[in-house]
Amino acid sequence: MPTKTIIEPFRIKSVEPIRWTTRKQREALLRAAHYNLFLLPADDVLIDLLTDSGTGAMSTHQWAAVMEGDESYAGSKSFERFRLSVQEIFGYKHVIPTHQGRAAERILFNVMCKHGDVVPNNTHFDTTRANVEFVGAEALDIPIAEARQPSLKLPFKGNMDVTALEEVIARVGRQRVPLVMLTVTNNSGGGQPVSMENAKAVSAVCRKHKIPLYFDACRFAENAYFIKLREMGYESETPKQIAQEMFALGDGCTMSAKKDGMANIGGFLCTNDEVLARQEKDLLILTEGYPTYGGLAGRDLEAIAVGVQESLEEDYLRYRIASTAYLGNHLSEAGVPIVEPPGGHAIYLDARAFLSHIPQPQFPGVALAAELYLEGGIRSVEIGTLMFADAAQMDLVRLAIPRRVYTQSHIDYVVEIILGVWKRREQIKGMHLTYEAPFLRHFTAHLEPVA
């Protein structure tokens, strides 16, 4: 008999203290960090919701596996365990380890794309976009139109617009589309899932035009669980079966194991294509390392081998999805504008609606993120005009929930702080840039409140 209260499906064996600061200290710290939360020392943050990437807590099984790490340069046992575990879920012929997701992206786009190409995706993540653009190709976002309406509640708002995909291929020509990507879940689009039906439709278009389909698989387990909960016909499938079915629709994937790999570092690139795999391994050797470790220690490969399987456990996924929704529901019930419905790994505040008096060029998302830090020591991240400049379709503040790290009382505190900021939102000022790097500027930008 299912209970109403969904508890954390773990006990805590080791604790890490977090540190309080005063508002006065936070004002000075924020000024010193040029109002960019990436530039804050983590020790000055109370609740760190900057990212769910690499910030999760590993399980006892993962720590035990770490001790089994085989650090041989070539052909280590750890690589074999990693390869078998990944292949059982993802099903692709070649598994190439990388130090994290963006390294897999860099290698993939270097091998598959050239200047003038177009890569369609439901929504490119920032590193994915940057890596596509770095080889001179265009990173084209074609989410369904409803994805651009934050308050609209739909079960699969991460879907790709399949008609737009057909139109892009017709407009630019098949030769200029070396691959199509599908990001599950759609991080930059609000952590929203992609349905199996949509993945099948995208795959069918790709097959028809003989274009390879690659998944950006970072949150594949969360996406699989949403399909189980929301898509007809999948109620009695396991998340693993659902993930296997989805990956069988594609030709490969990039993966950051820092998300649903439940590891603190790592990633991989998969492909079914022999020729590409050879080229990818050659590039890998140049910058990442030998193909049986690819920039990781044997112990990291062990942690990922266990982690990808743990991320598919139903007890864990039930808690994961419910605890993210808990934060979202408490905020939206109080009238705070968020991207609806709550996503898998994060809640996204709609900063344009939250701070409707701040115009888009004054970075409403940056202003809101700064205020959450001042009010309660919470670190979040802007996903909007600072991150994407003219390509920004929304101005969001993402509160990403690290896996298995914070308890319900931490989240209750986050709700209280956000509601406090919501009450005095009209006093918050916009920001202007004082320094920006030529690409991925949000990581290092300097800002100041407008006078």
Ligand X SMILES: Cc1ncc(COP(=O)(O)O)c(C=O)c1O
CB of 430 to ligand X, least distance (A): 26
**68-76, 96-104, 346-354, 409-417 -> range binding ligand X (CB under 6 A):** 96-104
Candidates 183, 223, 264, 332: give the one binding ligand X (CB under 6 A): 183
* Segment interacting with ligand X (CB under 6 A) among 98-106, 226-234, 379-387, 427-435: 98-106
Strand partners, 140: 120
CB 247 within 8 A of CB 90: yes
- Binding part of the chain for ligand X, among 94-102, 107-115, 334-342, 427-435 by CB under 6 A, reads 94-102
Whether 189 and 123 have beta carbons less than 8 Å apart is answered as yes
Q: Are 78 and 267 in contact (CB under 8 A)?
A: no
Task: Determine if 216 is a binding residue for ligand X (CB under 6 A).
Answer: yes
| Residues forming beta bridges with residue 447, ordered by sequence position | 433
Residues numbered 26-85 forming contacts with ligand X, rule: CB under 6 A: 53
- The residue from 55, 159, 187, 192 that contacts ligand X (CB under 6 A) is 187
Q: Does 101 bind ligand X (CB under 6 A)?
A: yes
Q: How far is Cα 22 from Cα 377, in angstroms, rounded to an integer?
A: 9
Quick check: 106 binds ligand X (CB under 6 A)?
Answer: no
For the chain, what is the largest distance between any 2 Cα atoms, rounded to a whole number of angstroms? 61
Among 59, 76, 128, 292, binds ligand X (CB under 6 A): 128
Query: Does 102 participate in binding ligand X (rule CB under 6 A)?
Result: yes
Integer Rg of the chain from CA = 21
Q: Are strands 267-271 and 94-98 parallel, antiparallel or unpaired?
A: antiparallel
Binding mask 304-343 for ligand X (x = CB under 6 A): ----------------------------------------
**Which residues fall within 8 angstroms of residue 8, CB to CB, at 6 or more apart?**
319, 323, 404, 407, 408
Least distance in angstroms from the C-beta of 171 to ligand X: 26
- CA–CA dist 175, 440 (Å, integer): 29
Instruction: Return the range that interacts with ligand X (CB under 6 A); candidates 123-131, 320-328, 347-355, 436-444.
Output: 123-131
Q: What three-state secondary structure class fits 233?
A: coil
Element at 106 (helix H, strand E): helix 101-112
Q: Where are the beta strands (DSSP E) in 313-440?
A: 346-350, 378-379, 381-383, 396-400, 431-435
| By CB under 6 A, residue 256 contacts ligand X | yes
Q: Which stretch binds ligand X (CB under 6 A): 4-12, 72-80, 120-128, 429-437?
A: 120-128
Q: Which is nearer to ligand X, 211 or 440 (CB)?
A: 440
CB of 187 to ligand X, least distance (A): 4
Q: Does 203 bind ligand X (CB under 6 A)?
A: no
User: Which CA distances in Å does 268 have to 69, 199, 209?
Assistant: 18, 21, 27
Residue given tokens 């294509």 in the structure block: 273
Instruction: Answer yes or no whether residue 218 interacts with ligand X by CB under 6 A.
Output: yes
Least distance in angstroms from the C-beta of 262 to ligand X: 13
**In the bound complex, what is the minimum distance in angstroms from residue 188's beta carbon to ligand X?**
7
Evaluated on CA atoms 360, 366, 369, 371, the torsion sign reads negative
Provide, rounded to whole angstroms, the least separation between the CB of residue 53 and ligand X: 5
Query: Counting contacts by CB under 6 A, is residue 267 touching ligand X?
Result: yes
Do the beta carbons of residue 97 and residue 285 sit within 8 Å?
Answer: no
The residues of the shown chain that bind ligand X, judged by CB under 6 A, are 53, 100-102, 125, 127-128, 183, 187, 216, 218, 256, 258, 267
